[in-house]
Amino acid sequence: MLSVAKRVVVKIGSALLVDPESGAPAMAWLASLADDIAAMREAGQQVLIVSSGAIAIGRHRLGLPKALRLEQKQAAAAAGQSRLMAAYERAFEPHSVPVAQALLTADDTEQRRRWLNARATLEALLELGAVPVINENDTVATAEIRYGDNDRLAARAAQMVSADVLVLLSDIDGLYESDPRLAPNAAFVAQVTAITPAIEAMAGDPGALGSGGMRTKIEAAKIATGAGCAVVITRGTTLHPLRGLMNGGRATWFLPQATARAAYKSWIAGTLSPCGAIAIDAGAANALRGGKSLLVSGLISIAGDFEKGDAVRIVDQAGAEIGRGISRYDAADANRIRGLRSADLPTALGYAGGPVIIHADDLVLTG
Ligand code: GLU
């Protein structure tokens, strides 16, 4: 599954990346990971990294103790993040692969408008051949709004970019029927087809393992598999962890519940409530049915007060629903550019906007 995936998100925990004694990034290990990722890219795969480690590195740098208050954690993250990125820079340098820091908060992945912006940036980075290195924006994310653990952030990132596989590199090789530290003969679970309460129970008590424990990994697997992304948990402690996984290394695979595309489209059609409607002409309706995007030239009228990133209904001139999609413009701007030619858009808008109102990828036909 990993070798045929087009787009892969790899989540790396602090325990793998940072030497607990010195607080230094584990450079030999990171170089081996960069080798694996460079090889995947050569095989035509796109890879994004979600990396922890900022707090662990920054804690040492600032001489902080082990137990930290929230603002100390945030300070540690600020001091550690730059070193973390420097380590990635160094690891990818021999491969001439550009890395790009992307710091996200929970809101960036859960509010539609910011979600669209973050997604567009990540897509642009991938298109430009960079490896995005994502972490939580710990310096601004306070208690109520923070993810706290990068497992869930990784799942949201995988969902955002419609990844095929999310790899959770851990210090344990996968899921066991009971905690292997307490029950050495616990049976290993190699494949999970659905995350049932029985599977959740295997992960143990929610409070027991804390950040990065099996519980948060199962929660992450739920989000990602529901969005059509396969999830694999494997031990990442040896050199070349991804190559090892490709060669059949021991791991627990969680199968996706739908294709990423199907999950995304059903999210648009079913989960989002439309905030307005866009009436289009017959030519535009035909184009949509042929799999094309909705362009400004086909707009007839706009109803409702939607924001950029909101879901809207697409209707014909008689008001019958043709489809639903995520608008790239808010209602006021869509109205402003209705019927204009592409060349006239920047003047009408006051910024360089494109002719696409709803991209084909963000659109579902419903009628
Ligand atoms: N964002 C935190 C860091 O970079 C880590 C969160 C986690 O370990 O899951 O240190």
pLDDT tens figures, 199-250? 988 887 654 434 457 888 998 999 899 889 999 999 999 999 999 999 999 9
Does the beta carbon of 219 sit less than 6 angstroms from any atom of ligand 1?
no
- Please, are residues 240 and 198 in contact by the beta-carbon 8 Å criterion? no
Write down all domains in the chain, each with its CATH number in brackets: 7-259 (3.40.1160.10), 272-365 (2.30.130.10)
The rounded percent of the chain whose pLDDT value lies above 90 is 68
If you take atom 2 of ligand 1, which residue's CA is the nearest one?
52
Higher pLDDT, 31 or 114: 31
pLDDT score of 296 more than 90? yes
Does the beta carbon of 150 sit less than 6 angstroms from any atom of ligand 1?
yes
Structural tokens at position 121: 């940036």
pLDDT tens figures, 81-128? 999 999 999 999 999 999 999 999 887 776 666 778 889 899 999 999
Longest CA span, the chain: 70
The alpha carbon of 77 and the centre of ligand 1 are apart by a number of angstroms equal to 8
- Please, are residues 70 and 142 in contact by the beta-carbon 8 Å criterion? yes
**Distance from C-alpha of 323 to C-alpha of 338, rounded to nearest angstrom:** 19
Long-range pairs for 344-349 at CB < 8 Å and ≥24 separation?
Answer: 345/296
- Please, are residues 8 and 14 in contact by the beta-carbon 8 Å criterion? no
Start-end of H helices in the chain: 14-17, 27-42, 54-61, 70-92, 106-110, 112-127, 150-160, 197-202, 206-209, 214-226, 241-246, 260-266, 282-289, 331-337, 345-349
Q: Which atom of ligand 1 is found nearest the CA of 149? A: 9
Lowest mean pLDDT across 35-49, 78-92, 332-346:
332-346
If you take atom 9 of ligand 1, which residue's CA is the nearest one?
149
Does the beta carbon of 135 sit less than 6 angstroms from any atom of ligand 1?
yes
Q: Which atom of ligand 1 is found nearest the CA of 148? A: 6
Q: What's the residue count for the chain?
A: 367
pLDDT band of 328, cuts 50, 70, 90 = very high
List the Cα angle 276/108/105 in 5-degree steps.
155
Residue of 83, 138, 217 to mutate, ligand 1, most atoms within 8 A of C-beta: 138
Q: Which atom of ligand 1 is found nearest the CA of 216? A: 9
324-355 in b/e form (b: 16+ CB < 10 A) is bbbbbbbbebbebbbebeeeebeeeeeeebeb
**Distance from C-alpha of 154 to C-alpha of 136, rounded to nearest angstrom:** 10
- pTM for the complete prediction? 0.79
CA distances for 25 relative to 50, 55, 87, 98, 303, angstroms: 15, 12, 7, 19, 54
What does the CA dihedral 360, 361, 366, 367 come to, rounded to 10 degrees? 10
pLDDT at 365: 92
**Distance from C-alpha of 362 to C-alpha of 193, rounded to nearest angstrom:** 28
The alpha carbon of 52 and the centre of ligand 1 are apart by a number of angstroms equal to 4
Structural tokens at position 352: 């360089």
pLDDT at 85: 98
Q: Which atom of ligand 1 is found nearest the CA of 135? A: 1
Strand partners of residue 364? 324
Structural tokens at position 248: 């059949």
pLDDT at 147: 74
Name the CA radius of gyration of the chain, rounded. 22
Q: Which atom of ligand 1 is found nearest the CA of 57? A: 10
Q: Which H or E element spans position 102?
A: strand 99-104
Higher pLDDT, 164 or 339: 164
Start-to-end C-alpha separation, the chain: 35
Strand partners of residue 166? 9, 231
Structural tokens at position 260: 């990423």
pLDDT at 269: 78
The alpha carbon of 41 and the centre of ligand 1 are apart by a number of angstroms equal to 26
Beta-strand relationship, 311-315 and 175-176: unpaired
pLDDT band of 137, cuts 50, 70, 90 = very high
Share the mean pLDDT of the chain: 90
pLDDT at 232: 98
pLDDT at 208: 43
